[in-house]
């Protein structure tokens, strides 16, 4: 749901933005080039008791640009793991705001020492502090530091500057912190979100990157959006070898990041410098190291990987019932039906509209869909309606649960009218919130919660009161028009900081359309500091509440996110448009969130508003069927766009979602891998092909896991797609006889009629599939098949795959609890023999479910022969009379590049198997080259 009207969003058009940016251009240009300070001098350094370094810095020459310099700083450096280095710089004399250690658990730096000026050591020359893989080095006057990777001597970060650099030395003031690093000009950078990046996944020099959680429609480009993720991945290719690392500045204050190509500068309006460096050197290793620190992605229930349908504007329960029935009639898979705020009584959280969603009828509906395995999710906004007859509000007041301004709950306006915002930094608020979720779940047994508007969004700005003699909102005009009596607050330095970040892409005040930044949370924490943590803290509180309900695995979808949000919640990319450009942008945003440790992500399929064209909706469901989180969602003011509304779209949906449901075991295994080691579900191509530099900026294709490549049509009127194929053999998933052999790796044009999306599987892979179905519960119980891919015509090769299965209701997703099975699949071709086998960990769960493998398909072989042998659990299977072999010749893409090998190779199907999934098996046969 949005808060800015469509009109306002359209007004923020590129033309208007250019005009406004030209007005602000002088200040923005100055901000990127002015050298603010002369830096600090390192006056002492010593080893800390925990094996790190503690140093003291003294300002060299004070000035008052953006406020006075903090004279003395404490430096703390620690190799926390083999591949993670922390560099923490704060005021040496008094405590400053940091991301709370209870929200994001991590090591505490040493307490501040009162030893300023009493130096025990006086380092005069540059020195080093080496870990097993990262090396920290520093210069003393002016103080600067560098981080190197030991294994290849590459400098990953260097904060020192000279006269020719467009940036100056480190600056540390109360409300203005600045630090920079040099970069090789050929480094490819990714991350620094959340924003809609028109140039694709690679950061683009001189584009604005502002981090401050804001309810601005995602249709606005290069603008700070709903989440704040001050982390970037740096990918370099040195001598043909790829090396990746990541840099996190753990800071929740608003910031501008200026990326110039050869350097990067942070300008932050508070907090501390708390840098974490992750050594990589592969993209997957980087995300593994990053999520090990910020929290592994939350495990998702199996049904969450099914298809979801939502709309703001399902006016009553009968409409929802019709939607579910129409999906069934159209034979389009559907797992989850959602309500935006239509189910609520007067837009109030944790309520039901007695007329449009009467509880007895809703419970009967839920009993019906639950018996089929379907799920139901509703929205919850953080703003609690100020209403003397509203129990949720009264209990919130009694628990002192709300954010304050001058001793009273801060008044704002969202959908119910006047609201107060819960303070999720307050332990009592977390308890009260959990109790309200418990009460609501007793009223309506929902299967998950959707937390929206949690940037936090406010339809008003400043200090507001409820107007006398006026109904607010009046129920006739748009709900997002402010109808409280409000006045701007500019009297504090928190509401009007000396440095203006480029908030909303327009340098609006930091309190614009959100909570006033001089409001305060529990223990006097300023909204100015904690603003970007609001959605994160709500996710934690909501997760705790859902976990405490029935002990089931929670599902939470949050709009606002911060570093660590993926440990608790999934994310959708907010209010997009039903346009071809937005279809394209959705890929970059999805891939970014994989880097941020939020792998369960997707965009509103077919666009939130306005209505998409029929052709666009066809192409969007073909792409959206392969988002990790796949949901159609539309706006109240748009015509209906469920997938069955157009017969052509229904056909595309049956095709693409039909394949998704066959791939559910593969997707669920990727969900497990994400939970265990952070690996994104959807990935840029450079994750699997890091040395293939053509893929570094590729933003129109992506991988699911390591080997499944999706190449959608993203342009109007096209019936073919130009796709980049890294070197190797690729097989079409929809027709596995079709093969593409790419020698060097380059673009090919593929046929893509209206109902076709190109999905290709890479060589050396084994993926598990099932037969699909209309709902994940049923699809999950169908027989399995394995797809094994070798390089085309290989006489020697190996392939690998894996499969994780568990009771997806359990909170933990792990082995060792008696309710899970993990299987590794292997295949080799060598000396004319083909072997396929499995290794099973904890097979009991899979055996109890009765799952079997009925078919194995092997691609890229030179032929089939005889001498078939099979064993299960080490015992020879004597009777293989039901096993059928068949071979189909592979067809090559017409536009195969010159010199391509067009010898006859075959796809081999082995059917009639009844291999128990929970037992290890092995099969082998002679290839027997034919033809």
As annotated, the active-site residues are 452, 455, 575
**Bridge partners of residue 730, in order along the sequence:** 740, 762
53 touches 75 (CB < 8 A): yes
Q: Burial, 54: exposed, middle or buried (Cβ in 10 Å; 0-12, 13-18, 19+)?
A: buried
Dihedral in degrees, nearest 10, Cα atoms 709, 712, 714, 719: 140
- How many angstroms separate the Cα of 490 from the Cα of each of 267, 412, 458? 22, 17, 18
**Phi, psi at 340, each rounded to 5°:** -75, -150
Distance, in Å, from the CA atom of 764 to the CA atom of 789, rounded to the nearest integer, reads 5
Transcribe 234-282 into DSSP letters.
EEEEETTEEEEEEEEE---S-EEEEE-SSEEEEEESSS-EEEEEE--SS
Residue 264's CB is within 10 A of a number of other CB atoms, namely: 25
Peptide bond preceding 360 in cis form (omega within 30 of 0)? no
Q: What's the number of CA atoms in the CB half-sphere (13 Å) around residue 34?
A: 13
Give the C-alpha separation, 703 to 720, whole Å. 19
Q: How far apart are CA 201 and CA 496, in angstroms?
A: 33
| Rounded distance between C-alpha atoms, residue 742 and residue 685, angstroms | 15
Compute the radius of gyration of the chain from its Cα atoms: 29
CA distance 414 to 418: 7
What is the DSSP pairing of strand 682-683 with strand 702-704? Answer: antiparallel
List Cα–Cα distances, 392 to 398, 438, 544, in angstroms.
Answer: 10, 12, 18
Nearest alpha carbon to residue 276 among 290, 287, 265: 290
Distance CA 403, CA 421 (A): 6
- Write the secondary structure of 646-676 as one string of H (helix), E (strand) and C (coil): CHHHHHHHHHHHHHHHHCHHHHHHHHHHHHH
- The rounded distance, in Å, linking the Cα atoms of 841 and 368 is 37
- Report the alpha-carbon distance of residue 326 to residue 11 in Å, rounded: 37
Strands (E), 174-240: 177-182, 188-193, 208-211, 229-238
């Amino acid at each position: 749901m949005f808060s800015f009207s469509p009109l306002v969003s359209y007004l923020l058009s590129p033309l208007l933005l250019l005009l406004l940016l030209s007005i602000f251009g002088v200040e923005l240009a100055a901000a990127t080039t002015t050298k603010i300070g002369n830096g600090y001098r390192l006056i002492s350094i010593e080893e800390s008791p925990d094996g790190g370094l503690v140093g003291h810095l003294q300002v060299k020459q004070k000035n008052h640009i953006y406020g006075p310099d903090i004279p003395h700083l404490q430096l703390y450096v620690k190799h926390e793991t083999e591949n993670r280095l922390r560099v923490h710089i704060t005021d040496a004399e008094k405590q400053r705001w940091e991301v709370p250690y209870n929200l994001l658990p991590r090591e505490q730096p040493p307490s501040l020492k009162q030893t300023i000026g009493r130096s025990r050591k006086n380092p005069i020359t540059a020195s080093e502090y080496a870990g097993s893989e990262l090396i920290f080095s520093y210069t003393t006057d002016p103080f600067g530091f560098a981080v190197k990777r030991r294994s290849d001597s590459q400098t990953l970060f260097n904060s020192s500057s000279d006269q020719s650099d467009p940036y100056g030395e480190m600056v540390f003031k109360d409300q203005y912190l600045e630090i920079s690093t040099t970069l090789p000009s050929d480094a490819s950078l990714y991350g620094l979100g959340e924003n809609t990046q028109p140039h694709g996944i690679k950061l683009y020099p001189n584009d604005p990157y502002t981090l401050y959680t804001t309810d601005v429609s995602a249709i606005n480009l290069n603008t700070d959006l709903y989440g704040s993720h001050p982390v970037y991945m740096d990918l370099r290719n040195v001598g043909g070898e790829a090396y990746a690392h990541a840099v996190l500045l753990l800071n929740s204050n608003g910031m501008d990041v200026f990326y110039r190509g050869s350097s990067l500068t942070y300008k932050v309006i508070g907090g501390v410098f708390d840098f974490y460096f992750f050594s990589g050197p592969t993209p997957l290793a980087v995300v593994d190291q990053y999520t090990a620190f910020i929290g592994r992605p939350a495990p998702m229930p199996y049904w969450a990987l099914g298809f979801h349908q939502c709309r703001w504007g399902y006016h009553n329960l009968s409409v929802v019932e019709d939607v579910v029935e129409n999906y069934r009639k159209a034979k389009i898979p559907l797992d989850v039906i959602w309500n935006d705020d239509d189910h609520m009584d007067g837009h109030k959280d944790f309520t039901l509209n007695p007329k449009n969603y009467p509880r007895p009828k809703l419970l009967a509906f839920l009993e019906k869909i639950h018996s089929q395995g379907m799920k139901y999710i509703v929205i919850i906004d953080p703003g609690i309606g100020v209403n003397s007859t509203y129990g949720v509000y009264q209990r919130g007041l009694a628990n002192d649960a709300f954010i304050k301004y001058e001793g009273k709950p801060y008044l704002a306006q969202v959908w119910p009218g006047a609201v107060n915002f819960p303070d999720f930094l307050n332990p009592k608020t977390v308890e009260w919130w959990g109790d309200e979720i418990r009460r609501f779940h007793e009223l309506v047994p929902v299967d998950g919660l959707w937390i929206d508007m949690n940037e936090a969004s406010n339809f008003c700005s400043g200090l507001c009161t409820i107007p006398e003699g006026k109904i607010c909102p009046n129920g006739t005009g748009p709900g997002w028009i402010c109808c409280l009596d409000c006045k701007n607050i500019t009297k504090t330095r928190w509401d009007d900081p000396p440095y203006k970040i480029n908030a909303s892409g327009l340098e609006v005040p930091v309190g614009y359309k959100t909570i006033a930044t001089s409001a305060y949370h529990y223990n006097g924490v300023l909204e100015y500091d904690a603003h970007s943590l609001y959605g994160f803290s709500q996710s934690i509180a909501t997760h705790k509440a859902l976990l405490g309900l029935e002990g089931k695995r929670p599902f939470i979808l949050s709009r606002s996110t911060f570093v660590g949000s993926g440990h608790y919640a999934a994310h959708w990319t907010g209010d997009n448009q039903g346009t071809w450009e937005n279809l394209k942008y959705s890929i970059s945003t999805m891939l970014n969130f994989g880097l941020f440790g939020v792998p369960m992500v997707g965009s509103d399929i077919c666009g939130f508003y306005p209505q998409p064209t029929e052709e666009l909706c066809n192409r969007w469901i073909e792409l959206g069927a392969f988002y990790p989180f796949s949901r159609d969602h539309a706006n109240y003011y748009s015509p209906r766009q469920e997938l069955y509304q157009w017969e052509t779209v229904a056909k595309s949906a049956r095709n693409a979602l039909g394949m998704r449901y066959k791939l559910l075991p593969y997707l669920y295994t990727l969900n497990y891998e994400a939970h265990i080691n952070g690996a994104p579900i959807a990935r840029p191509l450079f994750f699997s092909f890091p040395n293939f530099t053509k893929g570094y900026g590729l933003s129109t294709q992506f991988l699911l896991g390591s080997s499944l490549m999706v190449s959608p049509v993203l342009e109007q009127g096209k019936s073919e797609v130009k796709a980049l194929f890294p070197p190797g053999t690729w097989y079409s998933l929809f027709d596995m006889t079709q093969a593409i052999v790419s020698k060097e790796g380059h673009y090919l044009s593929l046929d893509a009629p209206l109902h076709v999306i190109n999905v290709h599987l890479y060589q050396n892979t084994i993926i598990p599939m099932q037969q699909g179905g209309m709902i994940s519960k049923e699809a999950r119980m169908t027989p399995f098949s394995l797809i094994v891919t070798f390089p085309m015509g290989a006489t020697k090769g190996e392939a690998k795959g894996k499969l994780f299965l568990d009771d997806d209701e359990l909170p933990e997703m792990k082995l060792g609890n008696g309710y899970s099975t993990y299987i590794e699949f292997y295949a080799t071709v060598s000396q004319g023999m083909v072997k396929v086998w499995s290794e099973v960990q904890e097979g009991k769960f899979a055996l109890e479910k009765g799952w079997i493998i009925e078919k194995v398909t092997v691609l890229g072989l030179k032929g089939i022969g005889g001498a078939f042998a099979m064993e299960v659990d080490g015992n020879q299977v004597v009777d293989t009379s039901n096993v059928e072999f068949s071979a189909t010749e592979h067809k090559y893409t017409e536009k195969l590049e010159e010199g391509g090998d067009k010898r006859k190779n075959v796809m081999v199907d082995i059917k009639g198997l009844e291999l128990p999934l929970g037992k290890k098996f092995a099969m082998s046969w002679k290839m027997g080259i034919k033809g």
